[in-house]
Amino acid sequence: LKRSVIFMAFGGEEMGLLGSQFFASNPLVGIKQVKMMLNFDMIGRLDAEKPSLMIGGTGTAVETEALLKNWEEGSKLGFTHSPEGYGASDHASFYGAGVPVLFFFTGAHQDYHTPLDDADKINYEGEQAILDFAVPLIFELVNRTDALVYQETAAPKQEGRNSRTLKVKLGIMPDFTNTENNGLGVGGVTAGGPASAAGMKKGDRITSLDGMEVTNIYDYMARLKKLKPGQRITVDIVR
């Protein structure tokens, strides 16, 4: 192999990507040495009748779409692509640090976050099919002569787990690691979003939205819910 492969399981994902954000800020190797992060999060519910795999992050490297096309041809799986690098899973921490990502996902289901989401519901043959597809892809990535070229993607359709209740989005990836209740840290800024247009940067700390104080992620979400599409507001930040 031309490159090393690191297998990692992150804790604190549901609390705000805490484990992956910590690693991205304190990596075992220099973060620039990480050429791609592949995130397998919820791949256990592949539909046996219509097996379709969603792959996110396909726009985070210049070469990704062409690379995937070569491996998808001839596969028994169906595929849908989402170019965005940010999202409500651990790959977002790496994308925010400038690393190309791929996110493998078989979709949400009615048992999600309930006691009914148990081992007897897992499609193990489906998981095997996904891994059979992914392993040769990983070997190609590991043995490539040239590293993939990172690129930013447009603002995502969703911003976090509660996006369905929001009519507007700011276009940031929150930094959940700040527990001092002195504002919401900006972990990343999506290209093409309102925050990017206003000049907001990774590392900024939001202290108010439209004159309403923001001390943490809960304040931030509550303030966003009160805003309407097209409304012009003032955002106070500390830089």
Beta strands in 97-239 (DSSP E): 101-105, 172-175, 184-189, 205-209, 212-213, 235-238
Q: What is the model's pLDDT at position 49?
A: 92
Q: Which parts of the chain sit beneath pLDDT 50?
A: 157-164
pTM tops 0.75: no
User: What pLDDT score does 163 carry?
Assistant: 46
> What pLDDT is recorded for position 87?
82
Q: Give the alpha-carbon dihedral of 76, 81, 85, 88, to 10 degrees.
A: -80
Instruction: List, in order of start, the domains of the chain with CATH numbers.
Output: 18-143 (3.40.630.10), 163-238 (2.30.42.10)
* Predicted local distance difference test score (pLDDT) of residue 51: 94
Q: What is the pLDDT of residues 175-189, one digit of tens each?
A: 766 667 899 999 888
* Residue 173: per-residue pLDDT: 80
Q: Give every CB contact of residue 51 below 8 A, 6+ residues apart in sequence.
A: 76, 77, 78, 126, 129
